[in-house]
Amino acid sequence: MEILYLLIPLSVVLVFLIGLVLWWSVRSGQFDDLEGPGYRVLMDDDSPPEQVRTSVVTPGDDAALHQTQQ
């Protein structure tokens, strides 16, 4: 019976802390877009990033660079 003097206030504090965490998450926008991250996984990027596209050198361009540097 004496354990109830510890468990009841502890459970009230725990419920209060869980309520604060839930309130913070709702106020900070954690639940604004629930479906977006799931769709973002399914999106396919057809074109490579810009920096990868510009760094590709074809064999003809490589020979032209060596001729102009000499």
All structural domains of the chain with their residue ranges: 1-27
User: CA–CA separation, 34 vs 8, rounded Å?
Assistant: 35
Is the CA virtual torsion 39, 43, 49, 52 positive or negative?
positive
Average pLDDT over the chain reads 80
Q: What is the pLDDT of residue 49?
A: 64
* 51: number of Cβ within 10 Å: 7
The angle subtended at Cα 20 by Cα 17 and Cα 23, nearest 5°, is 150
Rg, C-alpha atoms of the chain: 30
Q: What is the pLDDT of residue 44?
A: 76
The answer, as to whether pTM is greater than 0.95, is no
Tell me the average pLDDT across 30-48.
81
| pLDDT one-digit tens code per residue, 4-30 | 999 999 999 999 999 999 999 999 988
